[in-house]
Amino acid sequence: MKPNYCIGVDFGTDSVRSIIVGADTGEEVASAVHFYPRWRDGLYCQPAKNQFRQHPLDYIEGLEQTIRKCLVQGGNVVKSNIRAISVDTTGSTPVAVNESGTPLALLPAFANNPNAMFILWKDHTAVKEAEEINVHAATFEESYLRYVGGIYSSEWYWAKALHILRTDEKVRQATYSWVEHSDWIPFLLTGGQQVETMKRSVCTAGHKGLWSDDFGGLPPKVFFSTLDERLEKLVDSYPNKVYTADQSAGQISKEWSDRLGLPADVLIGIGAMDAHMGAVGGQIEPYYLSKVMGTSTCDMLVVPKHEFGNKIVSGICGQVDGSIIPGMIGLEAGQSAFGDVYAWFKQLLSWPLQHMLVQSDKIDVETAKLLIADINNHLLHELSKQADALPLSEQHELAIDWLNGRRTPDANQALTGMIGGLSLGSHAPGIFRALVESTCFGARKIVERFQEEQVPVKGLIGVGGIAQKSPFVMQMLADVLRMPLKIHKSEQTCALGAAMFAAVVAGIYPTVEDAMQAMGRGFDREYRPDATKVALYDKRYQWYLKMGQCIEHHFL
């Protein structure tokens, strides 16, 4: 019997990673990572304005290079037995396209226009538009926001599209539709020529685009036209049918088959967002909160449809039938900044190195660069080590984790972070500890929201880079949340989840659950709460809540 192999491609915030997985065992036989060069150089982004854009060429080059590298590693036997490819991406990360489905930034006239590029998930330039959507929705008798937690976010599709359509007339005139990154990549690989033929995923449509079976698709056209007439054309281009990620988007095109060196019969799966496929790669279970922890967190939870009933969960990022596992209700929450909080503090501490050391006449430039790289590579590890050694005290500094706004519960991207309790005795490890604690407190608030909405959380699953690399953060998370946290073995759960979906698309397994069972790598660690710290964390958590209320009510 011929072996079966599948490719999972994970488009993250900083890079794209591809893996080849043996579909019969889940063994990873090849992997490759490509860091987006334009993004790495800070092109098209203005962090002070919360503008974060990514050029489609970063995605195309990364897709091609990583898959080709994987195929070289795998060899001819693996290459000839690739059955399917599935992809996940960040979201909501939409882009303006013309009638052929080509992102405008790939056209010469828009090659360097950030508004014609993908609007990354963490771009918050559309705060005003999100507020307008929320106010507008309240004027309708039907609650069109009920399946997205009752609050529309500036991180999502309609707010971002409306912002660009209002602020860039040239882009508006050239735009035929807006599409999500996770829908465009399968369209690209299958050789799509008309945007109307693009198969869009229920994952992004439901969680970010207001699509629901209960509405017969999108809310009625009048909902959008009375908000802003510029949305009418966009509504007309949006399909009435969407697809779960276990379905096929089509067969690989001849162009991409030749370009990658793949068999002509390789199937391409419907795309989905990274955390949703990451939850599957991390072997999510009903009522277990799968925390996909990276620059931000996405907290995923599945409930069998017949058990969920008619619940409406407020303040989260949505509840969508089949967005994670077909046949189950997928619930999404998360924090707009998690690893980004730690990265910000690292960058803050590194400022003298970046701006002064290379100018010093006491050390040569090359040695300075090597020293900077070495310190940056070890800084967070050393901070974690020193912070972990500090005695836990009520008097420690206290922080709020909203450095990139608040995703859930109750989205508000206008909120900002804060560090309190500073004194002349404050030092870097102590402040770092407070920042880590704040991200754990933010995670606890999400768990409590699910519980308040009568959705039990039976346990925690940790996946992603931080889960793998930071015992300090994971132990504090278990302590603060007061429940065990098991860590998945795979370092590439999002790409692995994509490969599992690809195996279902190829017909190797009948269901996603079967693919998870056969291809899952299991768990290798579990962090259990330290009972001696629970009471103190409970007290500090109450202070965290009060401090957050102060920011929300008095500083906006």
* 194 and 276, same domain (yes or no): yes
> Which residue range(s) make up the domain with 128?
5-282+491-521
For 104, residues 6+ apart whose C-beta sits below 8 A from its C-beta are 95, 96, 97, 98, 110, 113, 116, 171, 174, 175
Looking up residue 164, the CATH number of its domain turns out to be 3.30.420.40
Query: Per-residue pLDDT for 436 more than 80?
Result: yes
Within-domain flag for 192: yes
pLDDT above 80 for 1? no
Mean pLDDT rounded to a whole number for the chain: 96
Tell whether 517 and 541 lie within a shared domain: no
Please work out, in degrees rounded to the nearest 5, the angle formed at the alpha carbon of residue 468 by the alpha carbons of 463 and 473: 95
Residues 202 and 86 in one domain: yes
Query: Span 32-51, mean pLDDT?
Result: 96
Same domain for 164 and 59: yes
Six-digit token string for 111: 């090659």
d(CA 212, CA 319): 10
Question: Does 383 share its domain with 263?
Answer: no
447 and 512 part of one domain: no
pLDDT, tens digit, 9 for 90 and up, residues 276-316: 999 999 999 999 999 999 889 999 999 999 999 999 999 99
180 three-class SS: strand
Burial readout 234-261 (b: 16 or more C-beta within 10 A, e: otherwise): bbebbbeebbbbbebbbbbbeebbeebe
Res 491: pLDDT: 87
Q: Say how many domains are in the chain.
A: 2
Q: Is residue 130 part of a domain?
A: yes
Tell me if 54 sits within 8 A of 117, measured CB to CB.
Answer: yes
Whether residue 303 lies inside any domain: the answer is no
Measured distance CA(153)–CA(546) in Å, rounded: 24
So what's the pLDDT on residue 2? 87
Percentage of the residues of the chain whose pLDDT score is greater than 90: 92
User: Mean per-residue pLDDT for 427-437?
Assistant: 98
pLDDT of residue 358: 80
Residue 403 domain-assigned?
yes
Q: What is the pLDDT of residues 337-393, one digit of tens each?
A: 999 999 999 999 999 988 888 888 888 888 988 998 999 999 999 999 999 999 988
Determine the pLDDT at residue 77.
94
Are 547 and 501 in the same domain? Answer: no
Backbone CA torsion sign across 480, 485, 487, 488: negative
Cα 39 to chain centroid, rounded? 16
Say if residue 374 is in the same domain as residue 277. no
462 is a domain residue: no
Is 307 within the bounds of a domain?
A: no
Are 70 and 158 part of one and the same domain? yes
Provide the pairing of β-strand 459-463 with 288-293. parallel
Q: Is the pLDDT of residue 556 over 80?
A: no
Check residue 308 and give its pLDDT. 95
CA distance 22 to 78: 9
- Average pLDDT score over residue span 109-134: 97
Question: Is residue 184 a contact partner of residue 190, using CB atoms and an 8 Å limit?
Answer: no
Digit-coded pLDDT (tens) for 483-534 = 999 999 988 999 999 999 999 999 999 999 999 999 999 999 999 999 999 9
pLDDT > 90? residue 134: yes
Cβ contacts of 368 within 8 Å, gap of 6 or more: 357, 358, 360
Let me know whether 156 and 227 are in one domain. Answer: yes
Range with the poorest average pLDDT among 38-42, 49-53, 179-183, 551-555: 551-555
pLDDT surpassing 90 at residue 128: yes
